[in-house]
Amino acid sequence: MDLDHYNLLEAPPAPEPTPTDNVDDEFNDGLHKDAVNVDTEFTSYAHFNSGYPFIGVDPYVASLVEEDIKYFRPDVSCKTSSSKNPWGTCYWPGICQDDIFNGVNLTFAFGTEAEFTLPTSQLMINYTMNSQFYCALAVAEVEDMPTGVDNSERHFWFGDVFFKSFVGVFDIENQKLGMGKSVLAPSTV
């Protein structure tokens, strides 16, 4: 799982960003490149749930996502709040702007060479709470997400936001999963 080209499956603990005068250069040069521990192996599990609205991640991965979003939206908050954010997503005040992340993508590979790329513009959702407009990234922290012994596992929930872009074909009999790019058919009205 990569946010743009930064591996979100790094070994814990979450890396500390190094402050610089030019945040864009730091982000583009690889903020987390020194934090990736290539000697640490752990298993990742993808749970496909078309009834869940977001992409669910554990608290560690959520902290990486929040730190990366701060380079684009310093006013982002990922704290759960009954009056602003009951879902555990990262949000900020105002209406979503498609170009806010400058073309950053969230990319997944499920044990194959095939990659599934979601532009962050497709992961943003507008919502209103207490008459205030907010924009959120549809990646939510799941506090009780299993991580295995000593953080040896990563689990991800792939919900509706994923299935809007990719169609899943579940072949239970043969224990296979097929994924394809979802394309909206043109209107015939």
10 located within any domain: yes
Question: Which CATH number belongs to the domain containing residue 64 in this structure?
Answer: 2.40.70
42 located within any domain: yes
pTM, 2 dp: 0.73
Which residue range(s) make up the domain with 54?
2-72+99-124+142-175
130 located within any domain: no
6, containing H or E segment: strand 6-7
83 located within any domain: no
78 located within any domain: no
43 located within any domain: yes
Closest CA to 145 of 135, 158, 134, 132: 158
186 located within any domain: no
Query: Which tens digits make up the pLDDT trace of 108-123?
Result: 877 777 788 888 888 9
Mean pLDDT highest for which of 20-24, 50-54, 73-77?
Answer: 73-77
Query: Which tens digits make up the pLDDT trace of 2-25?
Result: 766 666 665 554 434 344 344 444
CA distance 54 to 62: 13
Total domains, the chain? 1
Closest CA to 87 of 133, 154, 137: 137
